[in-house]
Structure 1
C-alpha cells in the first residue's frame, strides 16, 4: 500500500459541518468529497494546540507529556525522549521499510534529514502584498487581504505541483507522499476571487460572552489572550467580519490545492492501492473566549479534522464520533501497511474504527500545552463523552459539560453535581509526577556570544532552480563569497534580525527558498519578500523594515562583492 499524507495548518474542524456556524456552507468540495469516501472522524483532537509540538507528536508518535515539547519555543533536539535510538519518525519508518518518501510544504518543524526523506522541500510564506499590513491593525503575520500574486505563483500551489509530479511518475516501489499547506496560517493572503465567495453580509460571527473568562483559574487566564488582546482589537475595530471572511477565503484556497493533489491520485495508476489521510494540526480561535489563533485547551484550539480512506478497509460514508487523537495516526498507518512501529510510540491504531466506525473505544483525546515562557508546569486536557476536563496546576482546573455547554462558557469544576465526573476524568490524564516537565523556552534563554561584539553581515545565495545552496555564509562586508550564477544576494547590514519569507515558487524570477533554520536571526520576516515579485533584473530594492538590500544577478554578472 502507498500512503498519501495530507495536512493543513490552522484549519478549523467546523468547516465541513452543516451548522452554519459562520458563513453558511464553507466552500470545500474536495475535502467534503474525501470525507464521504472513507471514514470521517468528527471528534479528533490534537496532542498539542500549536504547530511544532502537534507535528512533533504525530510525526514521532510520542506524546508531549513524554517529550516535554508543548509549545513552539521549545527546541526539539533537546528532548531526551526523542533522542533515543528507538525513536523513528513516521516517514523514517516507511523509508526504513523500503518505501520512497517524499515531503512537500509544511509537514513538520524540523525532521528534514535524509534519514526521513528521499526528497523534501519545506514550506515558505508567500510575500506580503505591497502596502501591507492591509488590514491596518497589526504588523507581521496578523494581517489579511487579497494577494498580488497569481495563484500559480503561490507557495502552497508550488508544493501541490511537486506532490502531483510524484503521483504522475512511475514507481518501482511503494511510496509515502506527504503534502502540507502553510495556509490557512496567518497572514491570510489569497487571490481576491476567494474573498468574493464570502460576502460580508453573509458572515455570521461567533457568539461571545463578556464575562466568559471570569470563572477561569489564573493560569487559564494567562493562556487566553483576554481583554485587550488582538482578538479584542479586531472586534472593537469593526473588522471582525472581514477577518472571518479572510479566514474562510484562505480555507477554500487550501481546499483547491488539496483537490488538485487528490484529482492527480484519481487519475494515476495508484488510485486503488493508496491510503489517503487528511488532518489539521490543531484548531483556531476567531474571537471565541476572547482569543485569537491557537494555543488554548478549549474546543476551538484542540478540535481537528481527521479522515481516512483505505482501499479494502474503509467503506464510503463512514462517520466515527469516537474521541480520537492525532497520535493515533502513526500506529494506524503502520498497521494498514503491515509495518512494525517502534515501541516508543503512543496512541492506538484506529483500524478497528476504520472497519466499524461505531466500535467500542476509550477516549485517547488528550492534549498538552505550556505557557510560552513560564515552562514550569504542563497543562493537560482530555475530551471525553462526559465533557472536557483540564488541569493547569494544583487546584487550578476546568470542567465543562459540553453536552449542555458546547461553548465551554461555564466552568463546573467546583459544582458538587459533577464531582464524580471530575474525579474520573482527573484519573485519565497523566498526573503531575507522570507528565514530563516542559523543556526550557528558547524565548527565555540568553543569547550566546559576546553581546558587545559587532555583528557581521550575512549573505545567502539562491539559484534559479528553487533550491538553496547547501552552504550558508557569514562574512564581512568586503570578503569574497563564492560566485553563484543566476542568484539572489541578500546583504544584511548589521540590523537586528529574526526570519524572513522568500519569494514564491513559480514567481517571476523563480527565486527559490532557504530552510527556516538557516535564516533564523538573519533577516526580518518582511525585510524583502514583499517587493520581490516586482523586482527587475539587476535592480536593488531597499527594505523598509531592516535596511537589507537585494539584487537579482543575471548569469553574466559577477557578485558585487567579488
Structure 2
C-alpha cells in the first residue's frame, strides 16, 4: 500500500499549441516535448458529485480551488445533466454514447442488471474501444464502470494487470470488526462507525475524519475492501484509493508515450461513506473546532405538490435531522463530511493538473472533469441520488481543450454526458460513427458535438436539442437484463430556463428556474404556464423520437366519461373512480362472456398509412389473478377478413397496474378499411380496468447519408443520422 507523501502545489501554466522544434534545437535538450498530432485526453469522473463546486452555483461553502483553476482555463457548463441519476446506467450511457431510452437500461435493480448484458449495449463500441481502435493507448483507474460491472477489455492494459494501478472502485477506508466478510467472498464487510448515533447506525450512513480511528469489538483500525489500511497520524498513513489513482496518473504523465493516450480517471469520492483526511474537514470548522457548514435552502412543504409516484423516491434526511440532540446537528455534520470529501477530490484533481503541467503533454492534452450524477443533501427531504429533480440530474462539467476552448467562460446551454463521446471524436478527429459497419450493431450515437459551444460558449450554435434528457428508472419489476420500455419510466427535460418531468403514469412537474431555482413550486397545473409546459413536453417527445406530444387516442385518461370508446363484444363498460393509475378515472370492463371481449377505439382517421406509432396502456385485474391482457390492433384491408395484430400482452394482477406497450406500423395501402385499438384477452368472467392509453407517432427520419460500407455479404450498408435518439440502417443488394 502506498503511503502519504507531501507535495507542494504549483500553478497551472499558460496553454498553447505544441510547436515542432527545429532539429538544431534538439542538440540543446536531452528530452524534447512529445508532439503528437492528435491530442491526448484525460477524463476525470467523480462519483455522486453534485453542483457543490466553485462556479457551478451549488453549496456556497464548497472549496474546490483546483477544479476552479481548470475551469479558468476552459469552459464550464452550468446546465449539464446526467442521462440517468444512478451510477450503472449513467456510466453505461456516458461510455457507450447511448441514452437509456435507446439501450433500455434505465437502472432498475442495477446491481443485478449488468450493462453489457443488455442487447444494444452488449456490442456497443465504447469511447475507450473507439479510441483504442484508432491508435490511442487507453488506460483507466478507479471507478470507471459501476461496481461489479467492469469491462476491462476496453483498455490497452487491464487495470488488474498493472501493479501500480489501484484498479476498480473501493469506497474505503471504512470501519471493520476484523472478522466479517460479505457472503463467502474475501471482501470485508464494512461496519458503522462507533461515533454515529444509533439512528444513523450503518455502513453507508456513517462518515467522519480518518483521524477518528474506529474500534469495533477487539479490532481497532480502518480497512479497505480486501486489505488493511494503516493510520498512525495525518503524516503517517496509507493513501486512500483516490490518492493512489492520482499518483498513478502522475506516473503515466511522467513517461514517454509513442502514441496519443486516453486516460479515464474514476474518483470514488464523494460517494458514501463520507470519510476523508482531517485536513479537509478543517476547512469547515471555526477556531474552536465547531462545524461552520450552512444548511442548503430548504422548504418544509416541498413535496406537497410533487406527483405521488415521485414521492416514493424521496427519503433519508429525516433521521439526520432528529438524530443525537436534534436541531439538525447531524444534518450539518453530514454536509460537512460531504464537502470535506469534495475538497479531498479537488485536491486529487490538483495533483493531476500539476502532473500535466510538469509533463511534456501540457500543450496537447484535453482535460474533462465531471460526475456520473448529482446528489441530494436534504433538498426535497432526500439524501441520496435516483430522483428526477435538479439536485441529482445536474452534474459539474468542465472542458479544457488547448487551442479550442476560450478561457474562463460559462455555457448555460442544456447539455448532457452523452454529448462527450461525439465531442471527443470531433476534437481528436476520430470517425464519428463507431458502431457503423460490417459486424457492428449500427446504432448511431445519441449525443451531439459540443465543439461549437467550446469555441463560443454564449453565442455558439450547435446541432443538439433545446433540452437535455435524463431518465429515471421505474420501480416496476422487470426481468433481469430486459430492455425497459420508455413508457414504463420517468423522463426529465431541462432547457435553459425550465425543467419538465413526465412520469410513467402521466403526472407532470414543471419548474421555472428563473424564478424558482430551488424547484419549490411545481407549475405543471398552473394555467399561466400551460403554453410553456406544452412546449417543454413537445421538446421532450421530439428528443425521444416522437413527432408530437399529443396522444392520438381520444379520452385515454377516462377522467370523467367514456367518450371515444366502445365495447368489443357484449360487455359492460363503465367509468370507474376507485381504481385508477393516476387522476380520477379509469375504464372498467365487466360481464365478459368470451376472451375476446373488451373495449375498443376506432383509429382509422388518426393513423396514416406507412407511418409507425407507439401504443401503450395500463391495465389491472379486478379479479384474483394473474391473467393475460392483450393490446392489439384489428386491421381490415379491403374485403379481407380481419387481422388481429398483437402489440403486447402482459400477465396482469389485481394488485397493481401493469404496462402494455409496443409499436405498430400502418400498412402502406389504399385499401385500409378498418383500424381499431383493442384491449381484451383475460379468461371468461375476468373483469379488468384500463387507464392512461396513449398512441404517439414517431418522427419521420431526416436522413443524411454519412457512410457507405460494403459488408462483404452482397449488401451495402448506408448509415445515416436520423436525428431521433435511435438509429436506422438501410441495406440494398449489390446484385
TM interval, shorter chain, is 0.7 to 0.9
Q: Hey, what's the Cα distance between the residues in 2 that align with 1:139 and 1:127?
A: 15
The one of 121, 129, 134 aligned to 2:195: 134
Alignment pair present for 1:79 and 2:118: yes
Q: Hey, what's the Cα distance between the residues in 2 that align with 1:339 and 1:272?
A: 20
Query: Higher mean Cα deviation, 70-79 or 308-317?
Result: 70-79
Contact 1:57 1:64 in 2 (8 A): yes
Q: Hey, what's the Cα distance between the residues in 2 that align with 1:64 and 1:328?
A: 14
Contact 2:127 2:421 in 1 (8 A): yes
1:382-419 deviations in Å (ceiling 9; x for gaps)? 11124110011233111111111111111111111111
Alignment pair present for 1:370 and 2:407: no
The one of 257, 260, 268 aligned to 2:351: 260
Q: Hey, what's the Cα distance between the residues in 1 that align with 2:323 and 2:49?
A: 22
- What SS class does the counterpart of residue 336 from structure 2 fall into? helix
1:173 Cα offset (Å) = 0.7
1:134 Cα offset (Å) = 3.5
Alignment pair present for 1:352 and 2:413: no
The one of 332, 340, 347 aligned to 1:241: 332
Contact 1:23 1:198 in 2 (8 A): no
Contact 2:467 2:539 in 1 (8 A): no
Q: Hey, what's the Cα distance between the residues in 2 that align with 1:356 and 1:293?
A: 35
- What SS class does the counterpart of residue 461 from structure 2 fall into? coil
1:434 Cα offset (Å) = 6.7
Contact 2:468 2:495 in 1 (8 A): yes
1:320 Cα offset (Å) = 1.0
1:357 Cα offset (Å) = 0.6
TM-score, scaled to structure 1: 0.73
- What SS class does the counterpart of residue 81 from structure 1 fall into? helix
Taking structure 1 as reference, are residues 34 and 135 closer, same or farther at Cα in structure 2, changes over 3 Å only? same
Give the number of the structure whose alpha-carbon radius of gyration is greater: 2
Q: Residue 104 of structure 1 aligns with which residue?
A: 141
Query: Higher mean Cα deviation, 1-10 or 121-130?
Result: 121-130
The two structures, once aligned, show a CA RMSD in angstroms of 2.5
1:508-550 deviations in Å (ceiling 9; x for gaps)? xxxxxxxxxxxxxxxxxxxxxxxxxxxxxxxxxxxxxxxxxxx
Q: Hey, what's the Cα distance between the residues in 1 that align with 2:428 and 2:275?
A: 38
Q: Hey, what's the Cα distance between the residues in 1 that align with 2:323 and 2:382?
A: 11
Structure ranking higher in helix proportion: 1
Taking structure 1 as reference, are residues 434 and 340 closer, same or farther at Cα in structure 2, changes over 3 Å only? farther
Q: Hey, what's the Cα distance between the residues in 1 that align with 2:263 and 2:121?
A: 23
- Give the length in aligned residue pairs: 433
Q: Residue 508 of structure 2 aligns with which residue?
A: 397
1:129 Cα offset (Å) = 3.5
Taking structure 1 as reference, are residues 436 and 89 closer, same or farther at Cα in structure 2, changes over 3 Å only? farther
Q: Residue 168 of structure 2 aligns with which residue?
A: 122
Alignment pair present for 1:11 and 2:102: no
Q: Residue 496 of structure 2 aligns with which residue?
A: 385
The one of 161, 164, 176 aligned to 2:262: 176
Q: Residue 88 of structure 1 aligns with which residue?
A: 125
Q: Hey, what's the Cα distance between the residues in 2 that align with 1:236 and 1:224?
A: 21
Q: Hey, what's the Cα distance between the residues in 2 that align with 1:436 and 1:395?
A: 12
Alignment pair present for 1:278 and 2:369: yes
Q: Residue 686 of structure 2 aligns with which residue?
A: none
Q: Hey, what's the Cα distance between the residues in 1 that align with 2:56 and 2:372?
A: 22
Alignment pair present for 1:189 and 2:250: no
Taking structure 1 as reference, are residues 232 and 96 closer, same or farther at Cα in structure 2, changes over 3 Å only? farther
Q: Hey, what's the Cα distance between the residues in 1 that align with 2:616 and 2:133?
A: 29
Structure 1 segments (4+ residues) deviating >3 Å: 21-24, 148-152, 226-237, 371-376, 431-437
Q: Map 1:212-223; keep pairs closer than 5 Å.
A: 212-223=302-313
* Alignment gaps of 5+ in structure 1: 438-562
The one of 188, 205, 209 aligned to 1:146: 209
- What SS class does the counterpart of residue 122 from structure 2 fall into? coil
The one of 25, 34, 38 aligned to 2:70: 34
Q: Map 1:539-550; keep pairs closer than 5 Å.
A: none
Q: Map 1:468-547; keep pairs closer than 5 Å.
A: none
Q: Hey, what's the Cα distance between the residues in 2 that align with 1:193 and 1:113?
A: 34
The one of 81, 88, 103 aligned to 1:67: 103
Query: Higher mean Cα deviation, 348-357 or 196-205?
Result: 196-205
Taking structure 1 as reference, are residues 374 and 322 closer, same or farther at Cα in structure 2, changes over 3 Å only? same
Contact 1:133 1:144 in 2 (8 A): no
Q: Hey, what's the Cα distance between the residues in 2 that align with 1:288 and 1:308?
A: 28
Q: Hey, what's the Cα distance between the residues in 2 that align with 1:349 and 1:428?
A: 19
Q: Hey, what's the Cα distance between the residues in 1 that align with 2:95 and 2:40?
A: 17
Query: Higher mean Cα deviation, 7-16 or 301-310?
Result: 7-16
Q: Residue 293 of structure 2 aligns with which residue?
A: 203
Q: Hey, what's the Cα distance between the residues in 2 that align with 1:412 and 1:135?
A: 40
Q: Hey, what's the Cα distance between the residues in 1 that align with 2:374 and 2:425?
A: 26
* Alignment gaps of 5+ in structure 2: 1-38, 160-166, 177-191, 214-230, 435-442, 479-483, 550-612, 618-735
Q: Hey, what's the Cα distance between the residues in 1 that align with 2:322 and 2:448?
A: 39
1:35-63 deviations in Å (ceiling 9; x for gaps)? 11011111111101111111111111000
Contact 1:10 1:280 in 2 (8 A): yes
Q: Hey, what's the Cα distance between the residues in 2 that align with 1:241 and 1:228?
A: 12
1:372 Cα offset (Å) = 4.7
Q: Hey, what's the Cα distance between the residues in 1 that align with 2:323 and 2:99?
A: 35
Q: Map 1:404-423; keep pairs closer than 5 Å.
A: 404-423=515-534
TM-score, scaled to structure 2: 0.56
Q: Hey, what's the Cα distance between the residues in 1 that align with 2:102 and 2:616?
A: 5
